Amino acid sequence: LRDLLDMEIQKVESKQDRGVFRLPIDRAFSVRGFGTVVTGTVISGSVSTKDEAVLLPAGTPVRVRGIQTHGEDVDTAHLGARAAVNVTGVEVEEVKRGDLLCESGYFDTTYMLDVRLQALADASAPIKNRSRVHLHLGPREVLARVVLLESDELAPGESALAQLRLETPGVAAKGDRFVIRRYSPVVTLGGGVVLDASPSKHVRLKEDIIDSLRRLEHNDPKEVLDAKLRSAGWSSRATSDVATDLAVSETELKELVTNLAEADRVRTFISGGRERHVHAENFGSLEAEAIDSLGRYHEEKPLSSGLRRRELQDRIIRHTEDALYEAVVDALIEEGRVAADGPLLRLADHQIELDNEQAAIRDSIIEDLVSGGAAPPDLSELSTKHGNGSLLAIVEAMRTVGDVVRLDDGLLFAPRVLEDIETKMIGFLQDKGEMGVADFRDLVNTTRKYAVPLLNYFDGRGVTERQGDVRILRETL
């Protein structure tokens, strides 16, 4: 028998240590002079005296005061060790069998688990969808519903993907084993392995969900990370959040991300000083959506210079977080596929083209603005002459290509007129040294309605500088 046991032991694969401490509690008691002691098997990582930890599902922070393994005091208990851990910060009455003592920041309570469920071959009946069961996760027992994702029932000896919906909170990690028993009479139905310990609520019989869960069945943590990011869709994940989902350290996760990035399977960006990650395919689909949306906008409004950033976001991904959207836009600009003209975005190859009728209106507007000199017709006058139709769109197109300059007050000027005004103004200031509003008005033969906006325009361009009620050439300061 001893030889047979030795042979079987050799077949068992070594348990992979994820480096994050977990100890499911099977017993708790109080020792006079020491306080609360919990016992269990270290199933991941290690724990040392003076470590900070947390007790789940209550979320109570505790401190490790002392450790014993096999009746001997030790400084550290490692993976696989049976340990008695003396903790401070919690009363023994607050600890229940099945609670988890673990490293803080890596685990959380859950009401749902995605699993691969295996029915016992000798079960007397199939497991039906929404069966109420006793769920055993290590020493913890909770009531749950079995939601079969691939069928309406699971025959004896068969396996399937399922979601367990817990009636009270549990704590688990990917790879944990479990057993389910019938609610009544209490007989064992089967068991399985946890694929995702923090899933969203799934709709049954959906191929995309089933495909995503099948990818989570990989033992390679790199492939699991790929599946988690892929299933997140148009949502990015922070490094700490993904590390929690996979129950690995942030250092290990960053190595996995680096490997996937080298294979062009993940995109990383910074938001709020934190790294966030999204699957490269999902990032690419967002880029495609942005390009398609801009293309449709150009078709709808061929004379428009482009869309404001927020307007584009509303068109394609209204419910996606701002940080991911900004990362997508920045990437498109860097790739040269989108151009930013001030606050507006457009396709890099987009050019405004006027038809014959619109070109004729453009030429007439230029003629009106040139003949108007320093007192050109305003928009209302141009609308009276040319009609309201597409006038504003034509004017905006003209502004984009430099055929017209629009001042802050909305006044329109032909560029050649502004050049003539600037030449006259510089000559006057070089001769006189300073210029008041009345001087400028008389110099260019205009009215105060135009004079003040024009002077502000030249101030903004750095030609002049206002000092009190007069202007001087900036170059003389």
| Together in a domain, 97 and 82 | yes
Tell me the mean pLDDT in the region 72-88: 95
How far is it, in rounded angstroms, from Cα 95 to Cα 37? 10
pLDDT in tens, 43-77: 999 999 999 999 999 999 999 999 999 889 999 99
Last residue of a domain, one of 351, 383, 409: 351
pLDDT in tens, 153-179: 999 999 999 999 999 999 998 889 999
| Together in a domain, 130 and 235 | no
Q: Tell me, what's the pLDDT at 212?
A: 84
Bigger pLDDT: 413 or 304?
413
pLDDT in tens, 383-410: 888 876 678 888 888 887 788 999 977 8
Q: Tell me, what's the pLDDT at 409?
A: 78
Tell me the mean pLDDT in the region 115-123: 96
Mapped onto helix, strand or coil, the DSSP state of residue 210 is helix
Last residue of a domain, one of 81, 102, 123: 102
Q: Tell me, what's the pLDDT at 362?
A: 84
| Together in a domain, 339 and 368 | no
Res. 248: pLDDT tops 70? yes
**Cα-based distances in Å from 3 to 7, 11, 12, 13:** 6, 13, 15, 18
Q: Tell me, what's the pLDDT at 183?
A: 95
pTM exceeds cut of 0.85: no
Within a domain: 456? yes
Residues 3-6: contacts with CB under 8 Å, at least 24 apart: none
Q: Which residues pair with 147 in a beta bridge?
A: 163
Within a domain: 388? yes
| Together in a domain, 367 and 448 | yes
Within a domain: 432? yes
Which of 189-198, 299-308, 413-422 shows the lowest per-residue confidence on average (mean pLDDT)?
299-308
Contact between 22 and 43 under an 8 Å Cβ cutoff? The reply is yes
| Together in a domain, 263 and 371 | no
For residue 107, what is the enclosing H or E element?
none
Q: Tell me, what's the pLDDT at 114?
A: 96
Within a domain: 275? yes
Which of 194-203, 245-254, 342-351 shows the lowest per-residue confidence on average (mean pLDDT)?
245-254
Can you state the percent helix, strand and coil of the chain, rounding each to 5?
35, 30, 35
Tell me the mean pLDDT in the region 116-139: 95
Res. 477: pLDDT tops 60? no
pLDDT range class, residue 318, cuts 50, 70, 90: low
| Together in a domain, 70 and 138 | no
pLDDT range class, residue 253, cuts 50, 70, 90: confident
Within a domain: 11? no
List alpha helices for 234-348, DSSP H: 239-246, 250-262, 280-300, 309-316, 322-334
Within a domain: 133? yes
| Together in a domain, 363 and 292 | no
Residues 6+ apart with CB under 8 A from 99: 24, 25, 28, 38, 55, 56, 57, 58, 140
Contact between 174 and 137 under an 8 Å Cβ cutoff? The reply is no
| Together in a domain, 268 and 338 | yes
pLDDT in tens, 7-43: 776 766 555 555 689 999 999 999 999 999 999 999 9
Within a domain: 4? no
Last residue of a domain, one of 330, 351, 372: 351
Q: Tell me, what's the pLDDT at 215?
A: 84
Q: Domain with 430 in it: what CATH number? A: 1.10.10.10
Q: Domain with 160 in it: what CATH number? A: 2.40.30.10
Q: Tell me, what's the pLDDT at 7?
A: 76
Q: How many domains does the chain have?
A: 4
| Together in a domain, 157 and 237 | no
Query: 335 — alpha (psi -120 to 50), left (phi > 0) or beta?
Result: alpha
Range of the structural domain that residue 36 is part of: 22-102
Q: Tell me, what's the pLDDT at 321?
A: 82
Res. 233: pLDDT tops 60? yes
Q: What percent of the chain has pLDDT over 90?
A: 62
pLDDT in tens, 336-390: 999 998 888 999 988 777 778 888 888 899 999 999 999 999 888 888 888 766 7
Q: Tell me, what's the pLDDT at 82?
A: 95
pLDDT range class, residue 6, cuts 50, 70, 90: confident
| Together in a domain, 63 and 158 | no
Q: Tell me, what's the pLDDT at 413?
A: 95
How far is it, in rounded angstroms, from Cα 197 to Cα 102? 15
How far is it, in rounded angstroms, from Cα 204 to Cα 197? 18
Q: Tell me, what's the pLDDT at 387?
A: 73
Tell me the mean pLDDT in the region 211-235: 85
| Together in a domain, 257 and 311 | yes
Query: 145 — alpha (psi -120 to 50), left (phi > 0) or beta?
Result: beta
pLDDT range class, residue 284, cuts 50, 70, 90: very high
Within a domain: 223? no
Rounded to the nearest integer, the mean pLDDT of the chain is: 90
| Together in a domain, 347 and 361 | no
Token pair belonging to 299? 């078709």
